[in-house]
Amino acid sequence: MNCSAIPPSLIASELFGHEKGAFTGALQRRLGRFEAADGGSIFLDEIGELPADTQIALLRVLQEREFERVGSSLPMAVDVRVLAATNRDLEAAVEHDAFRQDLYYRLNVFPIRIPPLRERADDIPVLVAYLVERYAKKAGKSIRNIKRQTLELFQAYDWPGNVRELQNVIERAVVLCDGETFAIDESWLKGKPHFPSKRVARQVTTLAEGEKELIEAALSASGGRISGPSGAAAKLGIPRQTLESKIKALRIDTVSFRVR
């Protein structure tokens, strides 16, 4: 269950269920996640986003192994193993009264820290091989080799966006890949700031700017050619007419990409 994806007004009902008539729209009794997971496990993702009143109810479940459905005063016993995850600093949240201290210590029985990608350089070749195969299959391409310099570049990069950033870079490279060897343009990862301790939020770009950057990369890889098997439209997987209209709307000079 993703705690951040459910409105605060409904999260108690989602976790513990509700009785018929407990609130407007409660037309029948509904089992909650804890009741459904009795005798098994429940995984609460983004636990740091729980509202304060739900934190109290969750603490009771962890302490007393019982809960009450919304609209009921009858305690129900439950035997559930609880796994929780968050990308927030819960200790800092406790200090700022954004998360209950007693709940934090109750959850922190067996902590598991997943290190960021920059601390797992040895895992990068395995991840790259998997993601290249995944996106190549999606794009209908056959990529059999990965350039060694590309792997070295990936392992040397800091990856502030972790695996999601790696996925995006690989998908972009697969779209632009012509042959059977996977490689990236070194400029994609050059000049990006490295923050080993404190990180600064990356500047948000508009959709048009991101689209323009991707089209220019495809034009550069195709030598300014738009149509044809090796043209920019084929690399991007869109019709030639669509690409031409986007080029015109974004005011991209295709002449500057032609190979002399």
pLDDT in tens, 47-95: 998 888 889 889 888 888 888 878 777 888 889 999 999 988 888 889 8
Amino acid identity of 191?
G
Query: Looking at the structure, do residues 136 and 188 belong to the same domain, yes or no?
Result: yes
Structure tokens at 38: 């009795």
pTM of the entire structure? 0.56
Closest CA to 30 of 39, 21, 41: 21
Q: What is the pLDDT of residues 140-191, one digit of tens each?
A: 888 888 888 888 889 888 888 889 999 999 999 999 888 888 988 778 886 5
Per-residue pLDDT at 253 exceeds 60: yes
Radius of gyration of the chain (CA): 25
pLDDT > 70? residue 198:
no
The residue range of the domain holding 243 is 205-260
Q: Residue 110 region, left (φ>0) first, then alpha (ψ -120 to 50), else beta?
A: beta
DSSP 208: H
Residue 26 pLDDT > 80:
no
CATH number for position 7:
3.40.50.300
135 and 159 co-located in one domain: yes
What CATH number does residue 183 fall under?
1.10.8.60
Count the neighbouring beta carbons within 10 Å of the beta carbon of residue 65. 13
Total domains, the chain: 3
Q: Which pLDDT belongs to residue 174?
A: 92
Q: Which of 88, 107, 126 is the last residue of a domain?
A: 107
Domain edge (last residue) among 67, 83, 107: 107
pLDDT reported for residue 195: 42
Which region among 38-52, 54-68, 208-222 has the lowest average model confidence (pLDDT)?
Answer: 208-222
Cα–Cα dist 45/39, whole Å: 20
Q: Are 103 and 120 found together in one domain?
A: no
Is the same domain home to 52 and 146? Answer: no
Residue 132 confidence (pLDDT): 93
Strand partners, 41: 81
